[in-house]
Structure 1
Amino acid sequence: MRAHSAVPLGADYWKLWTSSAVSNLGDGITMVAGPLLVASITTDPAAVAGAVFAQQLPWLLFALISGAWADRLDRRRLVVSVNTMRAGAMAVLAVAVGFEVATVPLILTVFFLLGTGETLADTASAVFVPAVVPEAGRPKANSLLYANFNVLNQFAAKPLGGWLFVAAAAVPFAVNALTFALSAALIATIRAITPTPAAPVDRSPRPGVRAEIGAGVRWLLRHRLLRTLAVTMAVGNVVFCAAFAVFVLYAMRRLGLSDVGYGVLLVAFAVGGFLGTLVAPALIRRIRASYLLRAGLLVEVALHATLALSREPWAVAAMIVVFGVHTTVWGVVVTTIRQRDVPSALFGRVTSVYSFLDLGGAAVGSLLGGVLATAYGLVAPYWIAAVAMALVVVVAWRPLRSAGL
């Protein structure tokens, strides 16, 4: 076990990690500055919400297609090209904002292009860790990548994005353009990437994109453990996003929190996520993956049950921290299993199915949350989520016993 934790990650990994850090910082800045920019132009709530949706929509439209192309093309070159184009799109937006000619259609178009590029870049880059890091070092490598998201995207970038926008509205978008360019430059220096699989020796025509997507879906359906994890994640995202679509109202009306208190409560998610990055490698070394995954499902049930029953902010905050630890540990375990079991030639397509289920479940849940809360009250989505996840525990418990690292 100790030997596993001492496995060197290598120079290529640290270039990847630095690229991830830069990208997470830039994405987090834009995540805050984008809605602020739209709100400074229009008071239409639909337009403000559209700024977020425009970047999410490509995942629903193109995730599976992007997975097929990520398996067809040289993945490193694809990520470099996409990040370079995203840098150009952000630079155009920064110039438009600086000259005060930015419009809502332009903003939504740029964000849609960013999201489309994200489906390609994120899917293609998913194979980088298994390509540059030995299997024994991947839990640590994945934990460090999750730390980038929790510390930079969730913590540092949010206040920085707001401050930069107040200082000069164009600056956050110019900074994000630079982060995309720097990320592309770093990825371009990575050499140890598994090459794109060669064409068949019989030189028969390559299957179409639809057939290749189908091959990825069929492979996932035949793998009992990964199929269980994918479906579990989809259901979990539906009920989680349904419950947390009305979280701001829950925090204010049921817990009696102010705007500031609500913001502090949200920080609990990031605190838990950061703690998860610290403990994940040690937990994975000492505890079997099946136990960690099963415990994670119980935490999901406990989270929703706590929110349904409690009126105490401290109890809710504590449970959210525990949940944040779970999400990171779960993510590291599942990512590491996927990196081990999925063939390189299919990695993009299988990853894209996960992404489709992830964001598809989130979108469906967000729509359901408001409907359920309106019809049955603010606590109803949390009770429904608790019951749904309890059923998931029953169904997934046996298949998860085969999980191991």
Structure 2
Amino acid sequence: MASESLRVDDPAQAPLGAPYWKLWTSSGFSNLADGVFKIALPLLAIQFTQSPTLIAGLSFVATLPWLLFALTAGALADRLDRRRLMLLANLTRAALPALLIGVILLDLGSIWALYVIALLVGVAETLYDTSAQSIMPQLVHRDQLARANGRLYAVELATNQFIGPPLGGLLVAAGVLGGFAVPAALWLAAVGSLFLVRGNFRIEREEKTTLRYDIAEGLRFLWDQKILRTLAVMTGTFNFASSAAFALFVLFAVGPSSAMQLTEAAFGVLLTTSAIGAFAGSFVAGWAERKLGRSKSLALTILGGSFFVGAPALTTNPYILGFVFFIGGVLVMLWNVITVSLRQRITPDRLLGRVNSAYRLLAWGTMPLGAAAGGLIAQWLGLQAMFGIMGLLTLALLGLMPIVTDRAIDAADVAS
């Protein structure tokens, strides 16, 4: 455990503590950098190509590390100091946009250069995110996890999707280099804030084991937990569908030849509607969970998620889409708070990095596959047909809800 551990008589209502808020601040800087970068990269990409397959390939490459590197990242998070891994990951992410600026200034820019940068940023993100989710129970009491995760998601979504996208759009509109210089500076600011969190965040190990054994142990734990296994598959399916849709949404929305004919700045503003919803959702998630129960809350998110993904198949009206994206943001946040807090509660600290990574292998490893599938479907059938197919795929997840009942969730929670 960290040296700055929390000791209180009523943990659930106690202050979250200075170490948590330093992590919260660091996460805000880091996610603001993500928000700017993820908009700047595809806006730069469409200057090199208008091919749906190549544009979707950028999202494929960026998320590929979740398929290839997630299990190794989880094992490292359980072996090494989690805070130091997060620092290393953000230092790497700060260096890569600076490298891209040099490539652009030397007139060596191409879609292939963007692929390389996207892949390396994705590897660093895999290590950072796995360590960040695993460090949380070392900073706050387990009874505080829902509240701590809600507050953390609020700043993550506000910066990553509310402030970052329009800022990224404006920066690229003003000059491409600004869209990459700003994220580099923000990732460095995140490093500075996280550096102020003191303590040892390395889990003590009773025996020496191989990396392969560690990975297998985490996979076995996830497989044996039916609730976690089912939620991972459901999340993976939704991420497959949403990755397919939003990898190509830039082609549907931006430019005079697109269906929506938005400017770069307007595109960023439209995407912020889901972030506003997610920000609101981070504060109502606990209330909804208490009023509806966890199972009904999750079913509601699936229903709303199908519209979130599939709405562009039905309309090009930015105001209607903005409203749908807002509701979708609220519901996605509700899903995240419930599922992440449950996973952190029922998983032992020594396994949390590996279980998080195994879960994300199923949940996030589908994203590059979704981006690739979306590109192929859009190439064959058109963009709006692809959006409709992905909306129906999300709706089909309701068929798994008989497994995720309140009784089954409570039983898994108590057993921990």
Q: TM-score range by the shorter chain?
A: 0.7 to 0.9
Task: Name the residue aligned to 2:279.
Answer: 274
Matched AA of 1:385: L
Stretch of structure 1 that moved more, 210-219 or 243-252: 243-252
Shift of 1:43: 3.2
Task: Name the residue aligned to 1:139.
Answer: 146
Asked if residue 393 in structure 1 is aligned to residue 401 in structure 2, the reply is yes
Aligned length: 394
Asked if residue 169 in structure 1 is aligned to residue 186 in structure 2, the reply is no
Alpha-carbon distance in 2 for matches of 1:169, 1:239: 30
> After the TM superposition, which residues 220-259 of structure 1 pair with which residues of structure 2 at under 5 Å, given as runs?
220-241=222-243, 258-259=260-261
Alpha-carbon distance in 1 for matches of 2:36, 2:341: 28
Matched AA of 1:120: L
Task: Name the residue aligned to 1:86.
Answer: 93
Stretch of structure 1 that moved more, 262-271 or 53-62: 262-271
Alpha-carbon distance in 1 for matches of 2:203, 2:284: 35
Asked if residue 159 in structure 1 is aligned to residue 166 in structure 2, the reply is yes
Task: Name the residue aligned to 2:217.
Answer: 215
Alpha-carbon distance in 2 for matches of 1:312, 1:176: 31
> After the TM superposition, which residues 254-403 of structure 1 pair with which residues of structure 2 at under 5 Å, given as runs?
258-260=260-262, 263=267, 266-284=271-289, 288-300=293-305, 318-369=323-374, 374=380, 378=385, 381=389, 384-385=392-393, 388-397=396-405, 399-400=408-409, 402=411
Deviations 1:140-187 (A, max 9, x none): 221122122322111211121122233343233222222222212222
Could you tell me whether the CA contact under 8 Å between 1:131 and 1:193 is conserved in 2?
A: no
Secondary structure at the counterpart of residue 128 of structure 1: helix
Task: Name the residue aligned to 1:108.
Answer: 115
Q: How much is the aligned-residue C-alpha RMSD, in angstroms?
A: 3.6
Could you tell me whether the CA contact under 8 Å between 1:87 and 1:178 is conserved in 2?
A: yes
Deviations 1:259-294 (A, max 9, x none): 349947644423321221231233345554344234
Secondary structure at the counterpart of residue 69 of structure 2: helix
After superposition, the Cα gap between the structure-2 partners of 1:385 and 1:313, relative to the gap in structure 1 and judged at 3 Å, is farther
Alpha-carbon distance in 1 for matches of 2:163, 2:325: 20
Give me the TM-score of the superposition, normalised by structure 1.
0.82
Could you tell me whether the CA contact under 8 Å between 1:22 and 1:182 is conserved in 2?
A: yes
Matched AA of 1:133: V
Could you tell me whether the CA contact under 8 Å between 1:150 and 1:273 is conserved in 2?
A: yes
Secondary structure at the counterpart of residue 396 of structure 1: coil
Stretch of structure 1 that moved more, 371-380 or 12-21: 371-380
Alpha-carbon distance in 2 for matches of 1:238, 1:118: 18
Task: Name the residue aligned to 2:84.
Answer: 77
After superposition, the Cα gap between the structure-2 partners of 1:64 and 1:382, relative to the gap in structure 1 and judged at 3 Å, is closer
Stretch of structure 1 that moved more, 95-104 or 15-24: 95-104
Task: Name the residue aligned to 2:40.
Answer: 33
Shift of 1:102: 4.6
Stretch of structure 1 that moved more, 46-55 or 309-318: 309-318
1:129 pairs with one of 136, 160, 183:
136
After superposition, the Cα gap between the structure-2 partners of 1:279 and 1:81, relative to the gap in structure 1 and judged at 3 Å, is same
Could you tell me whether the CA contact under 8 Å between 1:60 and 1:356 is conserved in 2?
A: yes
Alpha-carbon distance in 2 for matches of 1:126, 1:207: 23
Could you tell me whether the CA contact under 8 Å between 2:11 and 2:144 is conserved in 1?
A: yes
Alpha-carbon distance in 2 for matches of 1:239, 1:113: 24
After superposition, the Cα gap between the structure-2 partners of 1:80 and 1:317, relative to the gap in structure 1 and judged at 3 Å, is closer
Shift of 1:100: 4.6
Shift of 1:85: 2.6
Stretch of structure 1 that moved more, 284-293 or 269-278: 284-293
Structure 2: gaps spanning 5 or more residues: 1-9
Could you tell me whether the CA contact under 8 Å between 2:244 and 2:373 is conserved in 1?
A: yes
Matched AA of 1:230: A
Alpha-carbon distance in 1 for matches of 2:130, 2:283: 25
Could you tell me whether the CA contact under 8 Å between 1:232 and 1:396 is conserved in 2?
A: no
Matched AA of 1:13: Y
Alpha-carbon distance in 2 for matches of 1:110, 1:194: 29
Deviations 1:72-122 (A, max 9, x none): 111111111222232223333334434555555544333322111111111
Give me the TM-score of the superposition, normalised by structure 2.
0.80
Alpha-carbon distance in 1 for matches of 2:43, 2:262: 18
Shift of 1:63: 1.0
Task: Name the % identity.
Answer: 35
Alpha-carbon distance in 2 for matches of 1:278, 1:132: 20
Secondary structure at the counterpart of residue 195 of structure 1: coil
